[in-house]
A and B are shown apart, each in its own frame.
Chain A
């Protein structure tokens, strides 16, 4: 700034000298031009000392800061932000059969308690302006869209200001961007506006894209990730799993299997950069009592839910705790993986080789034969988890259920279950009533399950985005 000012002063001094010497009536302008200074030089301000000015970060170091910002944004998009903002995994787990809302005893009928119950009980009216509904539908929506914006910004900054840095970072950024779009497609209704910013420039407010279009958009991003992530296997594998996930959503099993073929079973991409209070909100407030401020691990939720507790499956690593005083008689469990090594610092798995094997198994199931079962059993045997016996063929009628149950237990609380339930309806033709929790609400509050199978777009998006008219439909 000082240098800029000195330069500006210099410009004006030279201008002044010329002005006086030539007695030029329009001296100031003419002199500025003669001295090589234009008015633009004088107003092209620079604020390197500020934290809110973009040019403070138009450096290689700034590009790295933006890249880190993307990673932190992604973490919040997946796990949740501060306070009551739910991320992708908690929201997805509530609307599926993985969690039940845990604030049943509160006399408070508004705020996050009510919103969590609304999601858990599938009572989500897309037209509702009730604050709790708006809040819960907006949480992951905002956080995941922010990932997209941060990715655009980080990629642009790495390109422009850190061309010497490893291109893998750009690949990584593309992969996280792609993941965020898949998550949006998995969780929300058809009709998602993929608004975007231009790097260093304007902003484009989008109308809605269908679920398929969002998956397709993500596919292109994963392909870009693979172009850049040439050296980092971790980022390549992340992109591959993401691509397989998106292809599953598009009902393209063969391509999905091919996409993940190179991913080793040991691969894990953890969202490990979780800070206290802004990570996966499972253990922040009550680390020694419940598994989540948002929900408790459920067991056979809504008649059809899977027995995540009673099955005593070693893949669902729970520690039973004394019941909370506010929920007498309700068993409380802690999910061990989220509190180890420290509360709130546990890894949150975003992509893994296990998922890659499950994607391959689903493709193999679609082809008939027994390869799918072999793949699942190989996975069980190679995992090194005691108590996982080999599966037997349940017969044609139950093969899909078996596969999806395997997915549910292997991928517990990673945000896959809700998308799987949607796919069971959309791709495998199962009635909604045979997939989603139904009947009397089995959470700790009276009422019944509603009919929602997706999260509606937040109505405030529709209010503000004049190009957007809301969900195209709210089917699975």
Chain B
């Protein structure tokens, strides 16, 4: 024991290369040396070189400061060593294979003799990784029958002492490597050299994952971190955007859809929502640097919810999935503490592809496909027509007039499936084409990866044929531009380069650059116009919505990211990192009606004269990162990893927006002088700019201890200063703690050869900082001050009084779980339970009128007045169900449940309906989920007068709203399957997703039903439909309700099916390829649900991403893509 302990204390080991000449009586070799006053270690090194022997020692064995002088000629190695080691307390021993080991002389410390150990044999050796030849520390080497077990030290060296004579079976075991067994015969006091080269085997616990203080192996961290191997997913699936890449790929990660329009943003939610008014978006890092990932704007947004606004673009989707190697999902504060004040919603860590040393390799991929909708999915629309007393003939009366019956009467009801008729349908077949190419390679010292791609997608929106005909007839000929006929399209280009260099043994650097450009056309969304549908025979020739056909909604985006990192390892135990990343994005969005474009269909003159709404959002992020990591093996069984670092992230965002009318012919852009001149007296033209800056400076220390490579305990703390809280504001401190225990590596674990098993626990804090403008008093500049000469001048008003006492939202998360891998990961089960409490959640409290508030409570300020809790369970089951060369079937099933509850909200705003973020259908109520669905119930209805119609007078509503359910699914499941056939020549991938128990607001049905409300007069629809419709009429006496349009949704979706055939070898050789394949990829092949709308995941309130409302946006389309992949 004493020998082992002392040897394990060695923290620095110098050794000759394995494979040097050994054998024979090395002690008898003759060498010549002449040294004066040199360290013992240098002297030993000279002996090693001169004698060409393997020589092992530890620095605890050989004193560091001891110096010797020696001058010998043709002396025996043994003698020289004895001289050098005199008075050091160490002696040399020679193994059977000629390796010399310096050990402590424990039997006779005062002796310098050469017979130190006599009570058994010694087995000494080194563990390296096969192929790499790098040492592997903390490998367990054991003789199980003797209950002897040691670990290799930091240089892979181990020593088994006091081995009795006999034949022994030595087992070498390390997670992530194939276990090796060697039989050794020992007699007497042998010293036996025994090296092992371990072969790595895939194990999910040994994968490298990202943490706030650097890369770690999964088994070292106490958090559940999901990894998406993007390159393999993209290779076999149609993944048009990065958000699509995340769908179904990690339990607990929810992708909230927008509409099905091309380019429509999706929002990411991880482990539920916790902020009421703050961001619930995770932060996104690309190669370690902050990436702009918010959604764009949608003008004019001033009118509130607009269906076309569901089609905002996302900066996250600017990135081409082809460029990505892998994505790590850090799900909550327990994992994201070291990212600090913006990380409470989780962190998405994107790692882009990089090159490998070797000859240049090129990959080319081309996609061509289309998208469509099964037309029978679309609803039949209802509309009532009639005469009005004081309106033009054949116009439907408004709802107001329905209640005030002097309007007139409705005498016609039309029910019509406009989407099923080719003349009236506003949907059409879309198109997807894309090509991507990359080339990579390099030398051991420098690797490169260069890639480019181009995607051209045409969405499914279309101007109905009947409208085209009417317009062209009115304007005389074929005058409609193609972008008006097919208003939704996207072109996206990406280019990236990444260089990695190992400049020297102590330094390396990496450089990356991405540039992305998108041109987006959007809306009007295909279904938005359905509320005023047209018939093929043009019986309704005037209607609202005509102007929409002439609006050109576009967005031009430029997004670029550059980053560089330098890593230095001045000492083996120390690593320094310095890095800088820069991300810039500019999104110009515009809604343009050209002068005279809509004549004679414009309802308003100013539209006829041309108008343009629009703006430009620019966002710039800088990330500076300095870090140091110190790895100290304290004992062979205990090591320490300490990381210190500081980060500075600064994001500037400005939103310049404006409006101009009376455009010149051909004018498509703003031409307002004197930016930002702000507001003209005639109130027709204005331009405005809003800015915000987020800056975070944070420093952290992360201390981790490893016990025997099976127990990992870590703690960290980070402190931030943020712009959201100001220089004088609080500096929040975020702690974390985690434990990971590889139970299967313990000696008492009975199924070592069958399974890996890990228990883990993590606890951590993180925050969401408020926007700077929520703290500060803000102003708005106007131009309505008239000076004494009658000239307008600028002046400023207070816009927001700010909140000097604002604090960051703080989320505290604890998670625990286990992972089991059976039969070399053939089956993997990962179970995690988490609990997240958010304190000081920011809510928007109306300010008193005496402090500048408004009558309707719309002037507000952010205050820390809420507490929110999210709990849930995440389970992943991975299985290689069949793993044969002819047939393989790999399956991955994940399940995530979530429960969200608002624990507290300041009492003073409980009665404030506006605290529901202004939307009556979802509310913020303590004791219930955030943004839960609420409605006044319909207590009863009856056709009391027996006329076959349930009118609004025959409905009884409850007095107050009742909770209908959460607006997010209570749980979801996904299953991803991959099949390989005939030695991998064919591959089939299929995935399904199931979402359970979400209450969806079918706003589209509600609006359509308002037309049904007209038709009650004619007795259309069932009595219940009539009741729901009549109750939803907003001017119903006694109030209205959307109760009838809240639907509980369970949905199973066949998300993805792909079939890939690899080229035969003959063809590959003939084409001089490295590889190639052809694939047929399909998405959204089927959906099974009780939902009465077209698609329960269609969301027309994608802007905040906190709830899902089907307001008539396009559903998710079905796509078919043919793919050709060539590898050179």
Contacts and interface: CB of A to CB of B under 8 A. Distances in A.
Contacts of A461: 848-850, 853
Contact of B851 (A16, A71, A73, A195): A195
A65 B798 contact: no
A54 B855 CA distance: 25
Contacts of A150: 797-798
Interface in A20-68: 20, 23, 25-29, 32, 39-47, 49-54, 56-57, 62, 65-66, 68
Given A45-B695, A201-B804, A461-B850, A52 B780 contact: yes
A26 B699 contact: yes
B796 A69 contact: yes
Contact of B695 (A42, A52, A138, A464): A42
Contacts of B857: 460, 463-464
A318 interface: no
A188 B624 CA distance: 57
A180 B743 CA distance: 75
Given A39-B697, A138-B855, A273-B786, A107 B848 contact: no
A444 B650 CA distance: 62
Interface stretch (B16-24, B770-778, B818-826, B1116-1124): B770-778
Identify the interface centre among A5, A200, A465: most chain B CB within 10 Å of its CB. A465
A47 B628 contact: no
B785 A71 contact: yes
A275 B784 contact: yes
A275 B855 contact: no
B849 A47 contact: no
B799 interface: yes
Contacts of A45: 650, 693, 695, 723, 772
Contact of B574 (A23, A203, A275): A23
Interface string A61-104: 01001101101110000000000000000000000000000000
B795 A71 contact: yes
Contacts of B648: 8, 12, 42
Contacts of A145: 849-852
Contact of A142 (B654, B697, B852): B852
Given A49-B691, A65-B781, A277 B852 contact: no
Contacts of B576: 19-20, 23
A318 B722 CA distance: 62
Contacts of A51: 676, 678, 688-691, 779-781
A273 to B, nearest CB: 5
Nearest to A49: B691
B693 A47 contact: yes
Interface residues of B, number: 85
Interface string A159-178: 00000000000000000000
A51 B657 CA distance: 12
A15 B624 CA distance: 11
Contacts of B695: 42-43, 45
Given A16-B626, A49-B689, A54 B777 contact: yes
Given A16-B578, A69-B797, A71-B785, A206 B650 contact: no
Contacts of B570: 23
Interface string B382-421: 0000000000000000000000100000000000000000
A278 B723 contact: no
- Residue of A25, A28, A68, A205 with most partner-chain B CB within 10 A: A28
A67 to B, nearest CB: 8
B699 A142 contact: no
A25 B644 contact: yes
Contact of B721 (A39, A153, A203, A458): A39
Contacts of B624: 12
B782 interface: yes
B280 to A, nearest CB: 23
B912 interface: yes
B727 to A, nearest CB: 4
A149 interface: yes
A193 B848 contact: yes
B660 to A, nearest CB: 18
Interface string B667-695: 00000000010100111000011111101
Contacts of A68: 785, 793-796
Nearest to A17: B578
B767 to A, nearest CB: 14
Contacts of B484: none
Nearest to A278: B784
Given A54-B776, A145-B852, A197-B777, A203 B801 contact: yes
A153 B850 CA distance: 15
B681 A276 contact: yes
Contacts of B269: none
Contacts of B804: 201-203
Contacts of B856: 460
Contacts of A138: 849, 854-855
Closest 8 A/B residue pairs (Cβ):
A50-B691, A28-B646, A68-B795, A40-B727, A465-B848, A45-B693, A195-B850, A39-B721
Interface of B: 404, 568, 570, 574, 576, 578, 622, 624, 626, 628, 630, 642, 644-646, 648, 650, 652, 654, 676, 678, 681-683, 688-693, 695-697, 699, 701, 721-723, 726-728, 731, 772-773, 776-782, 784-788, 792-799, 801-805, 845-857, 908, 911-912
Interface of A: 1, 5, 8-9, 12, 15-16, 19-20, 23, 25-29, 32, 39-47, 49-54, 56-57, 62, 65-66, 68-69, 71-73, 107, 134-135, 138-139, 141-142, 145-146, 149-150, 153, 192-197, 200-203, 205-206, 272-278, 458, 460-461, 463-466, 468
16 contacts: A27-B646, A28-B644, A42-B721, A47-B693, A51-B690, A52-B799, A54-B778, A56-B779, A68-B795, A69-B798, A145-B850, A145-B852, A200-B777, A203-B847, A275-B681, A461-B850
Given A51-B690, A463-B911, 10 more contacts: A43-B695, A43-B723, A49-B654, A49-B691, A53-B776, A145-B852, A153-B777, A197-B851, A206-B850, A464-B912
